[in-house]
Structure formats: C-alpha cells, structure tokens
Amino acid sequence: MKFGKTFEKTLQDEHIPESWLSSSIRYKLLKKQINKVVDEINELGLSDSIKSDNHQYIYKFTTEDNGIIEPKLYEIKANDDDKYDDEIKELKSIEISNSNAKINHEIILQKDKDFFQDLFNQYNQLNKFMRLEEKDLESKICNFAIIIKSLLENNKQKDIKIWREIFNQYIDFKLDLNSKFNLKNFENFLNHLNSTKLINGLKRDNLKIFESFYQLNYSLLKFLTFKKLNNLAIKKIIKKFDKHTSLKSSPNLTRLINSYHGNELSLISPMTIEQIISTDIIKLIPQLDDYLCPICFNIAYKPIRLRCSHFFCVRCLVKLQRQNESKCPICREFNVMDATEQNLDEQLMKFMTTNFPKEVKMKRRINDKEITDETLENLGYDRLSALDDSKLKQFNELSQTLLEKKTAELTTQLSLFKSILLSFFEQNKDTIAKNSELKLKLFQVCRNLNIDPLIILDKSTDFNQFYYELGLKIIEFNDFQGNIKYGGLIPIKEILLSINENLDNKIKQDDLQISIDLLKVLNEEIDIITLNNQKYIKLLQISLSSDKVELLKIVNEIGHISISILRDNLNWNIIKCKEVLNELVSNGYLWIDKGNKGEVLYWDPSWINRF
Ligand SMILES: [Zn+2]
Ligand SMILES: [Zn+2]
C-alpha cells in the first residue's frame, strides 16, 4: 500500500479525533506539489543534468528577511569571472576545495518554493497544535497527581495499597519506559488487571480515579501515535521529494529542522511527556522495590545511609563491618567502616514504618531471629541440629546460663529463647512425641525457663503427665492463695481463670475433674463439690505435704526418684526420704524397681508405660 493511503488509514484505525486531523500533515497534497516541481524541472530542461554526474549542484535553504525559509539551487561552474556576491564568496570557501576556482550559478525555481512553504506551514501548524495538546495533557497529569497526593496526605492506607498494586503492575508491564509505552502493552496491562480481579474490586471512588487514569493513558497514547505518524509522514515526503526531483534537500533540511529545535520554537521538553506519567504519578506512591536493602533484598529497615548516600539495612552493614568489607557494595567508595549509628536515616526509617508496616514487622522478626541464632552459635549451639542429643545438653546448659545472668539484656534474649523453644516444640511435635527421651530433656529445659509445662504437654499423648501437672497446679494455687483467700474452697471459675491465663488450649472443668481423681490417690478428701449452684474444689483437709509435692516434681521431671537423688536435691535425711517414699508407694503412686544394680529406684508408673 502506498504511504499516503496507509497514513490516512492508520489515522482512522487509531481513532484519532476528527478535530486533530485538520492539523495533520496533508501528505497527498504535498505529493501533488512534488509532481509540479518535477514538471518545472523538466520544462527547464534540467532533469537530465541534475541527475547526471557531470554536473555539480548545491541545494540549500536560506532564511529571507521576512523570516520565510526558501530553497535555492546553484549549479557549480568553473570560475572565469570574479564578480560574485558576498554570499557566494562564502559558499565558495566552504564548498569548493580544489585550487581551480569555481562559481555558483543560481537556477531559479518556483514550484519547489511553493512545496517547502507549504510543508513548513503544515509543520508549524502541527507543532502549534501538538504544543496545546501537550499542555492539556500535562495539566491532566497534574490534576491526577493531586488526587493521588491527597490519598497520601490523608493517609488512606487502604486506597494507597490498591494504587500501589496497580502502579506496581504498570511498572511490571514496563509502561513507565518510553520504548514500552504503547497501546498493545497498555491493553495487556488492562487485561492483566482484569484477570487479577483488582479492577472488579474497586469501590466507587477508586473506580472513578481508575477511569481517569485509564483516560489519561489512552489520550497520551493517541497523542504519541499522532505525533509519530506525522513525523513519519514528514520524513517520507522529503524522501519522496528528493527521489522524484533528484534535488538533495534532506541533508540541509535535517540540519535546518534541528536548528529549529535548538531555538525558542523548540517543542521537545527535556523530559518527554510519557516520562512525566511515571515520574509525576507512578513514583508518587512509594514502591517497596525502591526501599530494599541491596544485600538481603528485604526492606532496608533500619536504614544506614553511607556517605555515598547508598543505604543498607543495619544488619547487612554490621556484617560487612565484621568482615572488614570497607567498600560500599554499590559504588565501591571506602566508607563502610566509618558508618556509626549517626548514619541511621531516621526520616527514611519513619517513612518505611508508615508506608510498609507489614514488611518492617517481618524484617524486624528476621533480625531478631538472626541475632538470637548468632548468640546461640557463639555459645556453641547450632539450631539445625536441635534434635542431636548431645546438643540438647548444651541447650539445657545454655538455658541455665541465661537464667543465671538475669541482666536486662539477657532478659530480652531469654524471652526470645523461650519463644524459639516453643516454636521449635510446635514444629517438631511429631518427632518429639515419638521420642520420650528427647521429650524429657526438652521438658527439663522448659522447667528451667519457667515455661508452663501445660503449654507443651498434649492432653491426648501425654495423658498422665498432663493431668499430673494440672493437679500440681491446683495444689500450688491452693498453697499460694487459695488457703488464705478461699479457706480451702476454691471456686472453679477462679482457678480456671488463673491456670488458663497463658494457655492456648484452655483447661475445662472436665480436665480438673480428671486431675482431681488422680490426686485422690494422694488424698481422699480432695473433691469437686457444689454449693449454692457454684462449683468448688474442696481442699479443706488436704494433708498432701509440700514434701510430697517437691518429691513428685522431681519424679515428674526425670521419671524416677531414689534416696540419693532426694538427698542431693532436697537435702533430706534418709529417714524422711524413706517415710515419704513408702507412703507414696503404698498409695500406688510410685513403683519400686529393684532390678537396677545398686540403688533402688522408684518409678512413676506413667513413665514406665512408655518404655
Ligand atoms: Zn540487608
Ligand atoms: Zn555507595
């Protein structure tokens, strides 16, 4: 298809508004004028000599006094005459290099002047129109930016989240790049948004905003298409002119147009309009990508800004310093070792907390975990081999060490350690359930850390131990507050409230009943009774001495007890040991194991069942 037709068809296909078309380049008209120039050249009998290599011609443009630019054709001839004007003198010095002096003889043409005059007029009109459109688009972009800014100023986090996601996709589709900003890509972007249901979920206000964002992009795309098509039409028509007339206008014309752009007539702003969308709108909503630490790719929370203005998260920077890595990983400036807490960019930190609260929270958790891991590692503990038996000993020792050093600093670490232990327990539940030895050891660690055993015990798999611990709690409650406060009658409601305080799996009245049935072995008086429609635990005459409780605590930890263990741990004399042990054995609470060489061991029956 000839370009003239293609040009008109494309303008139509791209739905270029009717009102724009009058400002478009009139390609067909200009083509007709080229024919007239060709006719004129033929009439002057010049067509052959212009085409032939034997003749030299110069085709250039001069600006007349009235500002009109005119083409001029000169034929270069050997110089036998010194009478040429100043302008030709000047030309001579530029164009003629050999020693044989030559003269430029002007050939007067009219139709080419008509053609170029028309072309320039159309070009100027087009530019004027484009400039107005550009201004209009700029103000639309500006208005849109105000809407987005108001979301930010009013801290509409929900809306900001939506727009962050939309703009994120916009960037993913590279619509912020000039080379990818085209209709096809924009439609792909829209299709994607539709498929993610992001658009369908938009509420009234955001839908309105989205519509204007859509319109804005759409108008801009049309504007750019129109501009591109017309530029192409200009290029094509000049090429056609040169081809048909054999006059070489393009080199000088290109120079002329370029100089046109250099002066105040220039229409091309330093930043092209499609860039304005990305810088003035898309960049308004902070994107996480711009705030990532280039080392760990998490949000660079707490951001340490180096002298070179690059920033990293404090953890990564600390690691760099420990490794004596003194160069900024991005620009290689020697400044890493100079960084102190003075380099913390507090403003940026605040900004991150406001705009990316979720990511900041996660990063803080990662940092906390890392710090604890490092502490454990320094103490010879390796998190991955927690299931390794020998490591468990260290685990236990470590917990004791931490307990002993109850400095403020260690308290934080201890609570972290506790939470790690609990999550470790949670994650390895199945493994631990199958390995009673491991369980026992972990259980000891928990005791050392004052972790409520009811948190880690499982009613269904640790039936006896669980209800035994619950029984101890009932007695403890009575010892510490019940006896004085309630006079030996503890309201069920109160005790459940106290016991359940830190438990996720809440204890119920039925559970208390099971424990009390177990405690009955130790003291028949203990029971649940109802008074005035309220349930109480009766501990009125309970004679379970604190001695027995102490002893049972040890049995519960290690599964068995012996006289020497009692002496070592509780400083009891042998008589007291035997007395208490015999009573518990006679009540069926402990089983005697004489099979072991050496000392007699007293076993908790629930433990024996496990082996
Ligand atoms: Zn980092
Ligand atoms: Zn740097």
Please write the tens of the pLDDT for every residue from 415-461: 666 666 667 666 777 777 777 677 667 766 776 666 777 777 777 77
Indicate the residue type of 352: M
Q: Which residues contact 234 (CB under 8 A, 6 or more apart)?
A: 25, 119, 123
Q: Which residues contact 369 (CB under 8 A, 6 or more apart)?
A: 420
Measured between alpha carbons, how far is 509 from 528 in angstroms, rounded to an integer? 10
Q: How far is the CA of 342 from the centre of ligand 2 (A)?
A: 17
Q: Would 397 be classed as within a structural domain?
A: yes
Give the pLDDT mean for 226-242.
Answer: 90
Q: Could you say which ligand is closest to the alpha carbon of residue 307?
A: 2
**In terms of domains, do 306 and 403 share one?**
no
Q: How far is the CA of 471 from the centre of ligand 2 (A)?
A: 63
Give the pLDDT mean for 52-80.
Answer: 78
Q: Would 607 be classed as within a structural domain?
A: yes
The domain in which residue 262 lies consists of 116-284
Q: How far is the CA of 301 from the centre of ligand 2 (A)?
A: 17
Q: How far is the CA of 363 from the centre of ligand 1 (A)?
A: 9
Q: Are strands 303-305 and 102-107 parallel, antiparallel or unpaired?
A: unpaired
Q: Would 185 be classed as within a structural domain?
A: yes
Please write the tens of the pLDDT for every residue from 408-417: 444 555 566 6
- Choose between 578 and 544: higher pLDDT: 578
Q: How far is the CA of 452 from the centre of ligand 2 (A)?
A: 50
Measured between alpha carbons, how far is 245 from 115 in angstroms, rounded to an integer? 12
Q: Would 17 be classed as within a structural domain?
A: no
**In terms of domains, do 440 and 304 share one?**
no
Q: What is the DSSP string of 451-470?
A: --HHHH--TTTSHHHHHHHH
**In terms of domains, do 131 and 194 share one?**
yes
**In terms of domains, do 139 and 256 share one?**
yes
**In terms of domains, do 149 and 278 share one?**
yes
Q: How far is the CA of 365 from the centre of ligand 2 (A)?
A: 27
**In terms of domains, do 245 and 348 share one?**
no
Domain final residue pick, 421, 451, 481: 451
Asked if 349 contacts 322 with a C-beta cutoff of 8 angstroms, the reply is no
Measured between alpha carbons, how far is 609 from 461 in angstroms, rounded to an integer? 12
Task: Please give the tally of structural domains in the chain.
Answer: 4
Helix and strand totals (H; E) in the chain: 27, 11
Q: How far is the CA of 37 from the centre of ligand 1 (A)?
A: 70
**In terms of domains, do 127 and 272 share one?**
yes
Q: What is the pLDDT of residue 380?
A: 52
Q: How far is the CA of 297 from the centre of ligand 2 (A)?
A: 16
Q: Would 91 be classed as within a structural domain?
A: no
Q: What is the pLDDT of residue 86?
A: 53
Q: What is the pLDDT of residue 33?
A: 94
**In terms of domains, do 202 and 297 share one?**
no
**In terms of domains, do 350 and 250 share one?**
no
Q: Would 95 be classed as within a structural domain?
A: no
Q: How far is the CA of 481 from the centre of ligand 2 (A)?
A: 63
Q: Could you say which ligand is closest to the alpha carbon of residue 334?
A: 2
Q: How far is the CA of 11 from the centre of ligand 2 (A)?
A: 49
**In terms of domains, do 440 and 404 share one?**
yes
Q: Would 507 be classed as within a structural domain?
A: no
Asked if residue 26 has pLDDT above 90, the reply is yes
Q: How far is the CA of 312 from the centre of ligand 1 (A)?
A: 6
Q: Could you say which ligand is closest to the alpha carbon of residue 312?
A: 1
Q: How far is the CA of 419 from the centre of ligand 1 (A)?
A: 24
- Segment among 93-97, 294-298, 497-501 with least mean pLDDT: 93-97
Contacts 24+ apart (CB under 8 A), 94-97: 95/58
